[in-house]
Chains A and B, each alone.
Chain A
Amino acid sequence: TQLLEQSPQFLSIQEGENLTVYCNSSSVFSSLQWYRQEPGEGPVLLVTVVTGGEVKKLKRLTFQFGDARKDSSLHITAAQPGDTGLYLCAGGFEGGSQGNLIFGKGTKLSVKP
């Protein structure tokens, strides 16, 4: 059974601080997605990484895929209240069942002004 562990589960920080969220597994993924979900809304896709060691940047957000494609991190620089939300990672497997993703349980981020 493939599992994705996210840490930390909760994070409460002040505006302007930096933070890193982790997504780890013992399984190898062919791709990994990061989503952000605001309260009462559906998850919104932020980024997909597919190559081991790949780094992608989205404004103040930096996403990295581990060299072995078993883990990923999301780093936010100078967090703002608008970054508040639930961050989910999800992994896809080549040959996996028709596009199913394995989701982590998420990191709930609160950025206080």
Chain B
Amino acid sequence: DVKVTQSSRYLVKRTGEKVFLECVQDMDHENMFWYRQDPGLGLRLIYFSYDVKMKEKGDIPEGYSVSREKKERFSLILESASTNQTSMYLCASSLIGAQGLYEQYFGPGTRLTVT
């Protein structure tokens, strides 16, 4: 079974703090993704990575950065947390599939509250 783990299930941070969210997958997947999920807005892609040290901006990258130093680990960094970054953060991984077959496997999520 694919296993994607996230470093924290719940996190409370103060405005202006630097926040690190860690994600690890154990299936040797090439692709890794960070999403945030908010009521009424669905899943929104923040950043993704298709190889070590490679990253691509998603739909809402502002205020975030990422790091992928090892294939199994993808980190999301909030440089200076703000209250509008309070959200559920979800990490996912997938193989580079053939013919558009891209099944993503998600971690349990981190509920981040910025006060």
Q: Residues of A with Cβ closer than 8 Å to B?
A: 29-31, 33, 35, 40-45, 48, 50, 88, 90, 92-101, 103-106
B36 to chain A minimum Cβ distance, whole angstroms, is 12
Chain A residues touching B, majority SS: loop
A105 and B40 CA atoms in complex are apart in Å by: 7
Over the window 18-46 of chain B, the binary record of Cβ atoms lying under 8 Å from chain A Cβ atoms (1 yes, 0 no) is 00000000000011010000001111010
Known: A41-B109, A92-B102, A96-B102. A105 touches B97 (CB 8 A): no
Q: Are A31 and B40 in contact (CB under 8 A)?
A: no
Tally of chain B residues near chain A (CB < 8 A): 31
B6 to chain A minimum Cβ distance, whole angstroms, is 8
Q: Are A48 and B103 in contact (CB under 8 A)?
A: yes
Cβ-based interface call for B112 (8 A): no
